[in-house]
Amino acid sequence: MAIILASQSPRRRQLLAQMGLGFQVVCPQTDEQMDPCAPPEEEVARICRKKALAVKPLIKREDIVIAADTIVVIGTQVLGKPRDSADAERMLRLLSGREHRVLTGLTVLQGEKIITQVETARIQFRPMEEAEIRAYVQTQEPLDKAGAYGIQGLGAVFVQSITGDYYSVMGLPVCRLSQILRQWGYPVL
């Protein structure tokens, strides 16, 4: 039995390694386009489940697949990864001085067993100055992250408070994942 991470995310790889898990990476080839009319919780769950199922035919039946997807929601607007620097600046202006939610869908699959759950964290950003936004975007850090910031990187300077699982904001709800693995007879500790 192997643990398979269905993700290209370096942060997810880092978190699985931090949990002490040996794993292989198999990147799913899926369309991650979300339906803007569907509830964000349902869509983030659908996308991560789709990633896990895309990997299933490529692995052994006893292998455990872990897939995740993360989005930022402010009001009713979903913020994925920015298209470019201008889009990243737009997202950061939108988040400045406001609270938003980070939704991370988690799917764990083994054979015919599959579980999908969504972890929600609430983040309050402090007000940001235009010069800070431009300087942050120039670091390139925001360009491959949902909501145009990385809480584990320089983006942390904007986070006034967080309610929920910090690691789910990074892209993988570590506590929830460890509980599922333990239920399936694979304790992390």
User: pLDDT per residue over 108-156, tens digit each?
Assistant: 999 999 999 999 999 999 999 999 999 999 999 999 898 999 999 999 9
Task: Give the pLDDT confidence score for residue 177 in this predicted structure.
Answer: 97
DSSP output for 76-142 = TEEE-S-SSHHHHHHHHHHHTTSEEEEEEEEEEEETTEEEEEEEEEEEEEPP--HHHHHHHHHTSGG
For 3-183, CATH gives 3.90.950.10
104 forms bridges with which residues in the sheet? 70, 119
Task: Give the pLDDT confidence score for residue 35 in this predicted structure.
Answer: 85
> H-type helices in the chain, by residue range?
10-18, 40-55, 85-95, 130-138, 166-170, 174-183
Integer Cα distance of 179 and 138 in angstroms: 39
- Residue found under tokens 């002490």: 20
Q: What is the pTM of this model?
A: 0.92
Task: Give the pLDDT confidence score for residue 163 in this predicted structure.
Answer: 98
User: pLDDT per residue over 14-51, tens digit each?
Assistant: 999 999 999 999 988 888 888 888 999 999 999 999 99
Round the CA-based radius of gyration of the chain to a whole number and report it: 17
CA angle 157, 87, 122 (to 5 degrees): 45
User: pLDDT per residue over 71-120, tens digit each?
Assistant: 999 998 999 889 999 999 999 999 999 999 999 999 999 999 999 999 99
* Domain spans of the chain, in order of start: 3-183
- Residue found under tokens 């990385």: 150
Q: Which residues are catalytic?
A: 69
